[in-house]
Amino acid sequence: MIFYDEYSDVPKEIIERFVTEQQLGRLVTVSDSGQPHIGLYPSVDPGS
């Protein structure tokens, strides 16, 4: 798992708001060893 220290001080409420209010593509994969990876990919609708 990749962990970046600069994101460690972001309050949980901010993260939850970002994930629930944004248009996000979600991609979940699992390595051969069983380690999950969750990718959140923000998207923008050019028509909005």
Q: Where are the domains of the chain?
A: 5-42
pLDDT of residue 45: 72
pLDDT of residue 42: 80
Which DSSP helix (H) or strand (E) runs through 17? helix 12-21
Tell me: the pLDDT tens digits for 1-48?
566 777 678 888 987 887 778 787 889 999 999 998 888 888 777 776
Which DSSP helix (H) or strand (E) runs through 16? helix 12-21
Amino acid at 38: I
pLDDT of residue 26: 86
Rg of the Cα trace of the chain?
A: 14
Dist. CA 5–CA 7, nearest whole Å: 5
